[in-house]
């Protein structure tokens, strides 16, 4: 979104206050007063007898508007637990005249970026998305020593390390916990719960839109009808190519790798394989293998402090933890070497989960620990050197697919015919062997598709 040309706006010392109880310290209880009253416009700042946080919000769409509604509806609970009173100083929007049916003074809207950035606020919340003007808002707010809260994974994946370094110099703060996982607290788990531990791996379903679409296709829907349903429910944008080709999950994984291992997200080596155009064929073939397709993102710790990162379709067992993750759910598993992984899950698509995650970041005032590795303990990002079993399918005779696989060094251990497609499961093979095989099949117009295979080895099943 690009703000319109500057308009005449009188900047007044006016706040919209979200009513809350008067508390000075966080408590473990919840407020017991009546529900939040109607919002009022004050002619002067609120009383200093309570902790007041001035908030400037950039973007008032599904996510930004959802955050404002949550602040209004949850004000008493927030006060009772955290002792906080939020006031809104400015809202940056594209159209100041649009009726948004929100409980705030319309005089707080501005479409001028400079007016917004000049507002007197303690916290700037960026809910616009994309690279610009989001980057300008973030860098200017942090340069002023302010706290910047964002759910913008594209921005953080590209500029997060530099923004965090800027915050160190200026005394500002950067919080991007809402950028990954929707309502699943992935980033805060990695920051806070794991402490100084280094994960063996972090892997999971990071895109709720694609998981919802996969779940519907598994039940018999076509890809087009599944996408239409997702859009009707607000779970998918009109252009959801980033969800289906893995760019969205890749940006989130880059942020995870930064948080867990200290790798600059802009420098992460990452292999990304799209779900489309072979999504429906992969679903059919996964059923024949008693599995389910899931779009799994993974960063793994390898020997010599190396980190590999991948985003790719993966066929998992139907009753596994990821196989049982359906609909718009996100699920992330952090392997710390314990008896079972540390797991977080929750809805990952739609405005409400993201707005809730922003609110969670907003009520936590302590500086965010964005640092990780030091110069003598740094990790290195590398291409995945591991061999995996793969499912490869193509619109070609089984004999042709078998012959092609062997020619490229991919040893088949199982083959089958599913509808018009042939499939093979390979013995563990490096991606450097699989990739040219796929290119060869594509050149032959065989419409290949590929997925990592993580069910019990077919060679074991056949023995």
What's the confidence (pLDDT) of residue 349?
74
What's the confidence (pLDDT) of residue 373?
46
pLDDT tens, the chain, 463 aa long: 433 333 333 333 333 444 332 223 333 443 333 333 333 333 334 444 578 889 999 998 888 888 988 888 888 888 778 888 888 999 999 988 888 888 788 888 999 999 999 999 999 999 998 889 999 999 999 999 999 999 999 999 999 999 999 999 999 999 999 999 877 889 988 887 666 789 999 999 999 999 999 999 999 999 999 999 999 998 988 899 999 999 999 999 999 999 999 999 888 999 999 999 999 999 999 999 999 999 999 999 999 999 999 999 999 999 999 999 999 999 999 999 999 999 999 887 778 888 888 988 888 877 676 655 444 478 999 999 999 999 999 999 999 999 999 999 999 999 999 999 999 999 999 999 999 999 999 999 999 999 999 997 554 544 4
What's the confidence (pLDDT) of residue 430?
97
Q: CA nearest 202: which of 318, 86, 299, 75?
A: 299
Pairing, β 412-418 against β 380-381: unpaired
Distance CA 286, CA 291 (A): 5
CATH of domain 15-179: 3.40.50.720
The values of phi and psi at residue 145, to 5°, are: 80, 20
What's the confidence (pLDDT) of residue 378?
87
Catalytic residue list contains 153: no
C-beta of residue 212 within 8 angstroms of C-beta of residue 349? yes
pTM of this prediction?
0.83
CATH of domain 390-462: 3.30.70.2030
- Which H, E and C letters describe the chain, residue by residue? CCCCCCCCCCCCCCEEECCCCCCCCCCCCCCCCCCCCCCEEECCCCCCCCEEEEEEEECCCHHHHHHHHHHHHCHHHHHHHHCEEEEEEEEECCCCCCCCCCCCCHHHEECCHHHHHCCCCCEEEECCCCCCCHHHHHHHHHHCCCEEEECCHHHHHHHHHHHHHHHHHHCCEEECHHHCCCCCCHHHHHHHHCCCCCCCEEEEECCHHHHHHHHHHHCCCCHHHHHHHHHHCCCCCCCCHHHHCCHHHHHHHHHHHHHHHCCCHHHCCCEECCCCCCHHHHHHHHHHCCEEEEEEEEEEEEHHHEEEEEEEEEEEECCCCCCCCCCCEEEEEEECCCCCCEEEEEECCCHHHHHHHHHHHHHCCCCCCCCCCCHHHCCEECCCCCCECEEEEECCCHHHHHHHHHHCCCCEEEEEEECCEEEEEECCECHHHHHHHHHHHHHCCCCCEEEEECCCCHHHHHC
What's the confidence (pLDDT) of residue 4?
36
What's the confidence (pLDDT) of residue 61?
87
What's the confidence (pLDDT) of residue 171?
93
The residues, ordered by sequence, that sit 6+ positions from 274 with a Cβ below 8 Å of its Cβ are: 244, 245, 246
CATH architecture entry for 186-347+367-381: 2-Layer Sandwich (3.30)
What's the confidence (pLDDT) of residue 201?
96
Q: Which of 98, 146, 252, 287 is catalytic?
A: 252
Q: How many CA atoms lie within 13 A of 327 on its CB side?
A: 8
C-beta of residue 67 within 8 angstroms of C-beta of residue 359? yes
Q: What is the residue extent of each domain of the chain?
A: 15-179, 186-347+367-381, 390-462
């Amino acid at each position: 979104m690009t703000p319109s040309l500057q308009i005449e706006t009188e900047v007044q010392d006016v706040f919209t206050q979200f009513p809350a109880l008067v508390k000075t310290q966080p408590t473990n209880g919840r407020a017991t007063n009546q529900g939040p009253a109607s919002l009022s416009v004050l002619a002067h700042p609120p009383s200093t007898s309570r902790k007041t946080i001035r908030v400037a919000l950039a973007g008032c769409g599904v996510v930004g508007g959802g955050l404002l509604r949550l602040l209004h509806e949850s004000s008493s609970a927030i006060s009772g637990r955290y002792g906080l009173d939020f006031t809104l100083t400015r809202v940056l929007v594209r159209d100041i005249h649009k009726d948004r049916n929100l409980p705030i003074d319309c005089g707080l809207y501005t479409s001028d970026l400079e007016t917004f950035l000049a507002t007197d606020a303690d916290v700037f919340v960026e809910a616009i998305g994309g690279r610009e003007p989001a980057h300008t808002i973030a860098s200017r707010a942090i340069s002023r020593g302010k706290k910047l809260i964002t759910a913008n994974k594209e921005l953080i994946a590209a500029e997060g390390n530099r923004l965090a370094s800027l915050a160190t110099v200026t005394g500002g703060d950067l919080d991007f916990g809402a950028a990954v996982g929707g309502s699943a607290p992935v980033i805060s788990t990695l920051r806070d719960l794991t402490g100084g531990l280094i994960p063996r791996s972090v892997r999971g379903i990071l895109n709720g839109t694609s998981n919802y679409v996969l779940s519907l296709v598994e039940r018999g829907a076509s890809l087009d009808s599944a996408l239409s349903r997702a859009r009707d429910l607000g779970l998918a944008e009109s252009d959801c190519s980033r969800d289906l080709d893995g760019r969205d999950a890749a940006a989130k994984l880059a942020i995870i790798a930064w948080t867990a291992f200290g790798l600059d997200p802009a420098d992460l080596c990452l292999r990304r394989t799209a779900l489309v155009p072979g999504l429906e064929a992969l679903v059919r073939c996964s059923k024949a293998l008693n599995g389910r397709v899931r779009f799994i993102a993974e960063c793994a710790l390898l020997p010599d402090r190396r980190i590999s990162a991948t985003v790719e379709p993966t066929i998992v067992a139907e009753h596994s933890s990821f196989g049982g993750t359906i609909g718009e759910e996100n699920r992330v598993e952090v392997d710390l070497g314990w008896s079972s992984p540390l797991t977080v899950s929750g809805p990952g698509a739609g405005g409400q989960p993201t707005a809730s995650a922003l609110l969670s970041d907003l009520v936590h005032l302590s500086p965010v620990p964005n640092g990780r590795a030091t110069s003598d303990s740094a990790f290195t990002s590398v291409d995945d050197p591991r061999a995996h079993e793969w499912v490869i399918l193509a619109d070609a005779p089984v004999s042709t697919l078998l012959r092609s696989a062997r020619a490229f060094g991919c040893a088949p251990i199982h083959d089958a015919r599913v509808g018009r497609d042939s499939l093979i499961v390979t013995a563990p093979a490096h991606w450097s062997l699989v990739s040219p095989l796929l290119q060869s099949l594509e050149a032959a117009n065989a419409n290949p598709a590929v997925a990592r295979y993580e069910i019990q080895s077919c060679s074991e099943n056949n023995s």
